[in-house]
């Protein structure tokens, strides 16, 4: 495929009503792309409204687990490039409802891949996986050579989706690449069950924050602007032979425990309140972080935000949002 030029390009972003997808859609629209998304449910806190992009993108009412909806969106809007980001991405609901998670994350992926394969207009795809696809590993940080050993429902669904995506590349030469991103945070994450928006929101409202785990799990946290840059940079390099069909890690490589993350947030917000530690988290990986050397070497990508600068922007955004 040729190098992409976003100006006037027809781009499908699945999951554009969610956190990461909405930021990717916004960035593409600002670059002049004609962005389309597929939306099943219209939630009260919808990211297309929160980020002000609802009137700047095309919204197809449908569901990625319905092949006909995927095929119609790609064909009727002459889609040339696809960012497949839609997923059931929250660990708790994934554990409670594994079948719906597998449907969304695995079936939804093969529907997008198959609709793209038979399309006459698609030039490339970026498929969103996750660092969770690696599962629990003895050797850290994860590199792209680490085995995909996701055991729990969300982790396994992402590993399966990756294998299917690679099958479409190897068998049908479908031009694609895969992102394996660290935990992503930032403004306009309206899923308040995630640790960062939950803690910030509770502190703004004068409530005691809650930590579901014992506070010890360590994660690699990447700011949303760095994540968006990762998606676009990967897509813009998809014409290169050493990128096609490959998976790339995107993260900071600097893990931090949940409890130390909490301490950073309360310090930045000038608060002095301890969390309620439940110690109830189950089916979650204890420690994980990524080596992004491959993305740096081949794509020239590097994160620009450290955890403190990213948290500062995030806190400021939520303060502004809840003051309206």
- For 91-103, write each residue's pLDDT tens digit: 777 788 899 999 9
Q: What is the pLDDT of residue 279?
A: 82
Question: Residue 173 to residues 3, 189, 193, 219: CA-CA distances in angstroms?
Answer: 17, 35, 39, 35
Q: What is the pLDDT of residue 82?
A: 98
CB atoms within 10 A of CB 279: 10
Q: Is 266 exposed, middle or buried (0-12, 13-18, 19+ CB in 10 A)?
A: middle
pLDDT in tens, 116-151: 999 999 999 999 999 999 998 989 999 999 999 988
pLDDT in tens, 234-254: 999 999 999 999 999 999 999
191-226 residues labelled b (16+ CB within 10 A) or e (exposed): eeebbbbbbbbbbbeeeebebbbebebbbbbbbbbb
CA 73 to centroid of chain Cα atoms: 21
324 vs 319: CA distance, rounded Å? 9
The DSSP letter of residue 4 is P
123 vs 40: CA distance, rounded Å? 25
Any idea which residues carry the catalytic annotation? 154
315 vs 318: CA distance, rounded Å? 5
Q: What is the pLDDT of residue 310?
A: 98
pLDDT at 110 over 90: yes
pLDDT in tens, 26-69: 999 999 999 999 998 777 778 999 999 999 999 999 999 999 99
87 vs 37: CA distance, rounded Å? 13
Give 192's pLDDT tier (boundaries 50, 70, 90). confident
Give 316's pLDDT tier (boundaries 50, 70, 90). very high
pLDDT in tens, 269-309: 999 898 988 887 776 778 999 999 999 999 999 999 999 99
Q: What is the pLDDT of residue 116?
A: 98
Strand partners, 247: 178
Give all domains of the chain, ordered by start, each with its CATH number: 10-187+221-254+287-305 (3.40.50.720)
């Amino acid at each position: 495929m040729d190098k992409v030029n976003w100006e006037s390009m027809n781009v499908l972003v699945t999951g554009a009503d969610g956190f990461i997808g909405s930021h990717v859609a916004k960035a593409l629209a600002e670059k002049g792309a004609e962005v389309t998304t597929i939306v099943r449910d219209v939630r009260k806190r919808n990211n297309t409204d929160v980020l002000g992009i609802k009137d700047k993108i095309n919204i197809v009412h449908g569901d990625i687990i319905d092949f006909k909806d995927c095929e119609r969106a790609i064909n009727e809007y002459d889609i040339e490039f696809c960012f497949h980001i839609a997923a059931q991405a929250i660990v708790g609901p994934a554990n409670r409802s594994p079948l719906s998670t597998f449907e969304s994350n695995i079936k939804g992926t093969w529907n997008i891949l198959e609709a793209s394969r038979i399309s006459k207009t698609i030039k490339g795809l970026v498929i969103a996986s996750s660092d969770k696809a690696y599962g629990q590993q003895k050797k850290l940080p994860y590199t792209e050579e680490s085995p995909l050993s996701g055991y729990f429902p969300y982790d396994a669904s992402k590993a399966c989706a990756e294998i299917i995506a690679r099958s479409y590349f190897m068998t049908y030469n479908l031009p694609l690449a895969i992102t394996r991103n660290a935990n992503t945070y930032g403004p306009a994450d309206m899923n308040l069950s995630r640790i960062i928006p939950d803690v910030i929101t509770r502190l703004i409202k004068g409530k005691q924050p809650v930590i579901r785990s014992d506070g010890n799990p360590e994660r690699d946290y990447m700011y949303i602007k760095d994540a968006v840059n990762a998606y676009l940079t990967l897509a813009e390099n998809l014409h290169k032979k050493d990128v096609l069909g490959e998976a790339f890690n995107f993260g900071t490589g600097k893990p931090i425990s949940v409890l130390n993350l909490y301490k950073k947030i309360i310090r930045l917000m000038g608060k002095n309140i301890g969390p309620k530690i439940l110690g109830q988290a189950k089916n979650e990986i204890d420690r994980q972080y990524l080596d992004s050397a491959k993305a740096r070497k081949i794509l020239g990508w590097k994160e620009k935000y450290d955890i403190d600068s990213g948290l500062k922007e995030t806190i400021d955004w939520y303060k502004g949002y809840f003051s309206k």
